[in-house]
Structure formats: structure tokens, C-alpha cells
Chains A and B, each alone.
Chain A
């Protein structure tokens, strides 16, 4: 994939949660960079779209935010998972895997019938 592709809202949310789970508290730029790295730079999203997603997650209470200092001594807002957020990751991951499996069956019937 060399093109920029639209990323579904829900999937971005899950990516953010997983990033925070593995990286610990991180600021917005850090999360965006990490997502880019993990997706092997094949997913170049507009970094700005991170922020509405972070707000969404925060409104739901899955992450919380705190002002702190970055490595280069800049004032930045750090986000971290909440307890609920951690539980949500499992549920969302299951959900996503189920969808992916269903899609796979549609896309490759032979593989499906073999299963």
C-alpha cells in the first residue's frame, strides 16, 4: 500500500489504545509517530486526526490526560490508559478479530471452505 488510506474511526481508537498499552503514557505526537512506525509507514494518516480520537476516548473515560514535560522540555499533554480502557482493549480486540475473520471468509472462499 503506497497510498494514503482513510482509517475508520474505531480502528484508530483501537490503535491508540494498543499504543498506550505497550508504550505507557505518551503525548499526542508520540502516539502518532508510534502508529506510523507500527504500521510500517504504510499507513500515513494525517497526524491531526489523532486529536479528535484522543478526545473521544477521553470523553468515554478510556484514557485520561495530564499536562507534563516532554523530552525536549516542552509542555505537553500526556495520555494514559484507565482501568476501564484496559478492559476495553480486550473486548475491542476480540471484536476486531471476529470482523477480520468474517471478512476473510468472504474474500477467499476456498480458504473459508477449507476451514
Chain B
């Protein structure tokens, strides 16, 4: 047990080093003094006594050394020495140290940021209990209200309420099966005397929280009995919203709030960190039982079957019992689906029955929730991962190069030190300490870079997010991994040359230093530079492609004019307006806003182009016989005020626009766009023709005008058929309840488009004030300049373009720095050779040419390698590009030029330095 005592003694001695050193000094001093005294007693002179005493003692320094080795924890002390030495080295060559640290920080930071974000978006588990047993019934992103067959391949993933109830009843394999609204709603909520505010809401079944296995932070979650017709209306608020919009008032639980003017009781607050069933930019602020949907939505309700129609609008998420066989349940559910369809005429009429056989559901693991966001951003995120990996590779190549060059340059120093007696292992340990220290500092800086970059990426990708459940903080495992990579690179490329040169005999090394002619040993360095330049070429070319693609996207002709236009979105239904009262409201809005100074036009519309929402309906042409009618012919349509096309600068190319002659009692009229004409009236004049939404209503609407195409929801694709119907005409000829209620809800518009003659700073205040003066209870959801709304369609594209540009720039800088560093060391090593050449008559330009020639060779090789790879990468990226050919010459020429220029400059500077060397000094410097 001796070793414990010894260890303890060593440790405690480590902490009182200084005192013990003093003690030892005193002890040794006394020893020598006593020895001198003894010698004097024996008759020696003072001086001789002293000499004899010291001789008898042996080496004082050596004694101290051996004593210290015995006393403290020597390896820690040695480490401390090494660290201090390394820091001193950094101060001596700050450029080298700074370059390595910055390179590491950029490489580590970029990678950590991207991989952490990707992990938290793509691989996030819901914060619920036992997510492994959750399954989603359906795997696609079909949204948000559908009827009929959904996908061409028969994959059914959006469900009507009736079908959900059936599945729930007949599938005991699911302990719980919950239904939730596929889209989301904005409902105006008023609490107490505060004005009503719009909150994101989601309709969910009563067992939603039970299925997910979460409780409540305060109060209680929703339960099954809340989800019955006639039950007391309750809602559950999210924790974040409770804090931000209701000031965390504990009294809100149990109090009454008004949702779209209907009273609801707040049953509880959801747990902290719970954000619902999916990762999304704006998670729900509150959850409402499905049973309350008809009350709130009124005629637009989708819950119950309306006649023959069942609206599919729900996603299903279930908790499977233990030991459930997924394949079996999936087959069972598909069977139930087909059986349900076979008794519903929406799926059996018109010879549709054979399609039923193809219909099926897919069961997928639901622990990550509904994957709509992930499906939408997945490709872009994976691209980002590849980009940042490339940057890391370049960074590591840079560091490797720098360390190799640095190590080679220190060969002479190492040789001298070894000749003086330094141990080889100690030397190598010192160099490794240096590399590790650099890696640690670089890693710490990398954390800062990662943090900043994560925040930037999130802000760019999801600018309108609110309470988004993604954190910008770098995740530890990713940080650790990238850290490890750079550590290994540093140690390997720092220690390798040191080990190699320590093998050589010192005399040889000293003899050969600074007389290198030719570069046999620099092949690995050259290879690294070539690889770096190649990778940079790929990134730069990618950046050019994405930037052009983005420019094409943002500056294309959308078909509408957006300058000086603003969109106000509001909710008349939420303020309690009925179908009878809204016409007067619309008239007031148009009159009051038009009267504002410098307002050129005001129009109202249910949806705005490029606003992200649309309704589509079936089109049945009157002229076609029933058998000829196409069952999959759809068109989008918008309910608009008469000045809609004017206010967006869309010309009417045939016929006329809406006017005062189109009233409730006159013939219901529509305007169609050119795409509509191309699809439904390819060789005829559409003016005067009639169509409807089904067989019975085929004569309902008369086409009186054709307007120019504009893009409605898809900014990248071609224009699709659209028709417009005037606010003044509510069609009364529908017989089916579903159609009647749809027609009624279409009378409620949500947007006002205001066009000013010139830009106004106070546009928002003016308009909000006017709206408030019309009706203070009217909830205004948002006020956006039209340009901003359009730009919002390209958030992801902008993000990718900006990041590829950033990474391309990073790569360019790193590669240039790498080339510069290598060339500098190369020149430094060949200084005496250059001196000799110049002494023998070589001119400055020829020296520059000689040095630069080497650099240009590497650049050419790098480009030759990189451009073909870039073309291949462009080919892979093709789906992300818009209006840009994958072999776009400008992008590749541009990348080549930029890279070539920077790299040549990076090589030229050291070359110039070489040529300005004074031959005498060069020869002397050995």
C-alpha cells in the first residue's frame, strides 16, 4: 500500500512546489555550509574548503532535478513546460499560429453548425414518452383539404373524420389513434379586455395528448370527453405562448377566452418544451378539440360529411401496443380503407371503382412526428452537409500543409537540439503538445463560429418563425467529432515530420539544410494544394450556379406588378361577421382606404398570388357530354373584388373585367386566365362559354374575359388554370350541402391589396388606423409589402445560395492561404539556391517565373481536377437549379477565373519576395 502514500505525497507536494523548493534550497545550503566548516576544521583554506565541499556534494543542479522528479508529479510539470514552450513558439511565429487557428475555427465551426442543425431538424424526436411506439398512418405531405383519391400511386395519407372514427374503432392494435389537422389555422383569440390577437391553432382529437403520452404543465390536457358534440368547449395553450402572449398569468387556467368570438375555457397549459406533433416554423399556440371545429369554422367546416362529400383534412398518429407487427396492421388498415371507399360514392361513381384496389396506407415510424418540414427541406439540408464537409476537408488539408511546411523548416533546429542532448521522445512530445494546443484553441474558436453560423442559418431559413422548436446551439457529439478530426490531422501532420527528422543523425540534417535544390520532399504538400484548389473550384462553381438560380427565381416575371403594393390580411369571420354583413364591410374598406392620400387602388381577395394558399375545384364544361367530362380536371379559383386585376397590374387580354353590371341578380360571371383557356378551350374562343363544378352546375358560370397568366402558388413551375369570381355574386344554384357551405365560406375574404402611387414610410400605420376606425374588433393578422411576400417564397433558395457563396468564399480564402503558405516555405527553403542563381546572373523576372511556375502548375492541376467534379456536382444539383443549365458556362468560367486569379496572386507574392532577396544575404543565411 506504499504506492498510495507515495501518490498522495506527490500530489500534495505538487501544490506546494514553491515552498518546498525554498525548503530544499535551504537544506542544501546548510549541507554545503556544514561541509565547508568541516573542511576548514581539517585545515583547508576557506576557498579550498568550499571547492572540496562542492566536489564531495556532486552536482547541485542534478540533485535538485532528481529530487524534484521524486517529489512532484513530473509529467504534469513537463506538460506545463511544454505548453509554455508551445505558447512561446506561437508568439514567435504568430502568422503561422493564427492561420492554423483560424482555419481550424472555420472548418470546425461550419461543420458543427450545419451538422447540428441538420441533426436537430432531420433526426429530432418528439419530446413525448416512448416515441418508439408511435406510428403515423400515411407517409406523404398531402395537405390540407382534399376529397377523392389523393396520390397517383394510391398512397392515401390525408383522412376524413368519418374514416378516422372507423379506423379507430376497428384497429385495436393501436392503443390510441389520434387525429390532427394537417394544416393549421390562425384564429383570433381575445382574453379579458386586451384586443384580439391571431394565434396559430390545431384541431386535434380528444386523445391527442394521451396518444403522445404527455400531461400538462398546469391544469389538464385535452381528454376524450372534451371531444364530444355538446361538451363544454375547452382549449389547451402552449407553454411558450402562455409566457409570451398571456404573460404567464396563472389565473388563465380555468378562465374564459373568446376564440373567433366564441367562448372557450382554458383547460390547461401544455408542458414546457412540448411543441406538438411536428417540427414547424410556427408551432401551434393552442390545441382545440375537433368537436369544436364546426362552431368555429361555420359554413367552412370540414368535420362532418356533407351529403356525399367527406373532406379529408386530418393526419393520423397512433400509439401501437407492445409487440405489434407493423406489416400486419398496415395491411389491415389498407383493407379498412378500401372497404370504406367502396361504400362512398365519391370513390365509386363514374367508373372510379377500379382505382380503389390501388388505394393503401403506409405505416411509418412516428417518433419524429409529421415530417412535412423535413421532407421540404431535406434535400437542401443534405446539400449543406456536403458543402460543409468539403470545407472541413479543405481546412484539414490547409492545416496539414502548414504543419508539414513548419515542421520541415524546423529540421535544423531539431537537429541542433538533439545534438545538445535533448531526448527524441521529449522533442516529439513537445511538437505534439504544440499541435494539440493549436487544435484546442482552434476548437474553442470554432464553437464561437458554430454558434454564430447556426443563428445566421436559422434566421435565413425560417425568418418568420415564432417559438420554433429548433435550437441554434451546437450539439456536443458533432462538435466532439469535428474536433477529433482536426486533432488527428494536427497531431499526424505535426508529429510525422518531427519523428522523421528526429530519425536522421543531427550532423546529416545540419549539413543538408538550406541547400535544398528541387523539392523531392514536397510532393505531399503539392498534392494537398492541388486537392484544395480542386475542392474550392467545386464550391465556387456551385456558388455561382446557385446565385444565378436565385437571381433567376427572384427576378422572373411572375405576371403581377408588386411595386408599392401592400397586403393586409384580416379575418372578418373571426370578428363575428356573417355572410350578410360582410358586403357592407368590404364596401367600407374599399371606400375608406381609397380615400387615403396617394392610394391608387384597393382590392380585396380571398387569396393573393404567391401568398401560399389556394382553393381548387373540379371543372365541368357545359359543352361536353357527361361521358366526355374529365374527372381529374381541376382549376384554382379566387373570390376577388372588381379591381383585383387592376391593382396587380394584370391585363385583361380578351373580353372584359368585372364591373358594376355584375350583381347578385345578374348572370354569374367568371374571368379565366390563359392557362385555363389552353387547358379547357384549346381551339375555341372561351368568351360566352359556360362551366361549373360538377354535372348539375355545368351551366353555372359564364366566361366574360381572359386575363394574362400569373403564378399563384408555385413560383418555379408554369402558370396553372385559375378563374376569378366577383365578391358581388354568391351563387345560389348549388344543391349539395358541401358545395353550399363552401360557397358561403368563399364570401369571406382574407386579404386587402393596397397600391400606393409612391413609397410611403407610414403606410402601415395609416392603413391599420383606418381599419381600426372601420371596426376596432377586426383582427388584422399581418401587414406585408408585396415584395416581401414574394421574396418569402424563396427563403430556402436564398439560404442555400447564400451558404454556398459563403462556403465558396471560405474555400477560396483557405485554398489561397494554403497556397501562399506553401509557396512561402518553399521559397524560404530555397533561399540560398536563389541567392546563387541571382549571383550567377539570373534576373528578377526569371526568378519570379521559376517560383511562380511551380505554383501555376499546381493551380492548373487543381483546376483540371476540380472543374470536371464541379460539373458532375452541378448535374447532381440540377433539381435545385432554376433557369440555369447544369453545364452553364458562365458559372464554370467564372469559378476558374476567380480561383485562378486568387491562387496566382497567392503564389506571386512569395515569388516576388524571393526575387527581391539580396544574393549576399541569401548565401550567408544558413
The chain A residues found within 8 Å of chain B, CB to CB, are 27-30, 32-33, 44-49, 51-52, 55-56, 58-61, 70, 72, 74-77
Contacts and interface: CB of A to CB of B under 8 A. Distances in A.
B598 to A, nearest CB: 92
A89 to B, nearest CB: 16
A103 B62 CA distance: 32
Contacts of B561: none
Contacts of A61: 2, 5
Given A52-B70, A61-B2, 15 more contacts: A30-B34, A33-B38, A46-B56, A46-B63, A48-B58, A48-B63, A51-B67, A52-B69, A55-B71, A56-B70, A59-B6, A72-B37, A75-B30, A76-B30, A76-B34
Nearest to A47: B57
Contacts of B5: 59-61
A43 B26 CA distance: 26
A55 to B, nearest CB: 5
Interface string B20-39: 00011011101101110110
B58 A49 contact: yes
A46 B58 CA distance: 5
Nearest to A56: B70
Contact of B33 (A32, A45, A74): A74
Interface of B: 2, 5-6, 9-10, 23-24, 26-28, 30-31, 33-35, 37-38, 56-60, 62-63, 66-67, 69-71
A4 to B, nearest CB: 10
Nearest to A4: B58
A55 B70 contact: yes
A7 B748 CA distance: 105
Contacts of B38: 33
Nearest to A55: B70
A55 B67 contact: yes
Grouping DSSP codes into helix (H, G, I), strand (E, B) and loop, the B interface class, with mixed when no group exceeds half, is: helix
B27 A28 contact: yes
Across the A-B interface, give the 10 residue pairs with the lowest CB-CB distance, nearest first.
A46-B58, A48-B63, A48-B58, A29-B34, A29-B31, A59-B9, A52-B66, A76-B30, A59-B6, A47-B57
A86 B925 CA distance: 66
B35 A47 contact: yes
Contacts of A60: 2, 5-6
Contact of B57 (A48, A72, A77): A48
Contact of A47 (B6, B31, B66, B71): B31
Residue from the set A45, A48, A60, A74 with the largest chain B CB neighbour count within 10 Å: A48
B23 to A, nearest CB: 7
A70 B70 contact: no
B176 to A, nearest CB: 68
Contact of A51 (B2, B9, B28, B34): B28
Contacts of B59: 46, 48
5 contacts: A29-B35, A51-B27, A59-B6, A60-B6, A61-B2
A59 B3 CA distance: 9
Contact of A48 (B6, B30, B62): B62
A21 to B, nearest CB: 20
Nearest to B69: A52
A72 B33 CA distance: 10
A111 to B, nearest CB: 36
B60 to A, nearest CB: 7
B73 to A, nearest CB: 13
Contacts of B60: 48
Residue from the set B31, B33, B70 with the largest chain A CB neighbour count within 10 Å: B31
A48 B23 CA distance: 15
Contacts of B27: 28, 51, 76-77
Contacts of B30: 27-29, 70, 74-77
Nearest to A58: B9
Given A59-B9, A60-B2, A52 B34 contact: no
Given A47-B56, A48-B60, A59 B10 contact: yes
Nearest to A48: B63
B860 to A, nearest CB: 64
Nearest to A77: B27
Nearest to A46: B58
Contacts of B24: 51
A70 B29 CA distance: 13
A28 B67 CA distance: 14
Nearest to B37: A72
A74 B23 CA distance: 14
A72 B32 CA distance: 13
A52 B67 contact: yes
Given A33-B38, A56-B70, A70-B34, A51 B63 contact: yes
A32 B129 CA distance: 75
A59 B71 CA distance: 8
A25 to B, nearest CB: 15
Nearest to B29: A74
A70 B31 CA distance: 10
B63 A52 contact: yes
Nearest to A62: B2
Given A28-B27, A51-B63, A60-B5, A72 B34 contact: yes
B13 to A, nearest CB: 9
Contacts of B69: 52
Contacts of B2: 60-61
Contacts of A74: 30, 33-34
A28 B28 CA distance: 9
B431 to A, nearest CB: 30
A13 B69 CA distance: 17
Contacts of A58: 9
A76 B27 CA distance: 6
Nearest to A53: B70
Contacts of B71: 55
B77 to A, nearest CB: 16
A49 B63 contact: yes
A12 B23 CA distance: 23
A29 B27 CA distance: 9
Given A33-B38, A46-B59, A75 B31 contact: no
Nearest to B56: A47
A56 B70 CA distance: 7
A49 B24 CA distance: 13
B49 to A, nearest CB: 14
Nearest to B20: A55
Nearest to B26: A75
Contacts of A56: 70
A76 B26 CA distance: 8
Nearest to B7: A59
B851 to A, nearest CB: 57
A27 B32 CA distance: 12
Residue from the set B27, B28, B62 with the largest chain A CB neighbour count within 10 Å: B27
Contacts of A51: 24, 27-28, 63, 66-67
A55 B35 CA distance: 21
A83 B2 CA distance: 15
A49 B34 CA distance: 17
Contacts of A28: 27, 30-31
A76 B34 CA distance: 10
B316 to A, nearest CB: 72
Nearest to A33: B38
Contacts of B63: 46, 48-49, 51-52
A38 B172 CA distance: 97
A48 B58 CA distance: 6
B802 to A, nearest CB: 64
Residue from the set A46, A55, A58, A61 with the largest chain B CB neighbour count within 10 Å: A55
A56 B302 CA distance: 88
B23 A77 contact: yes
Contacts of B57: 46-48
Nearest to B60: A48
B44 to A, nearest CB: 16
Contacts of A76: 27, 30, 34
A114 to B, nearest CB: 40
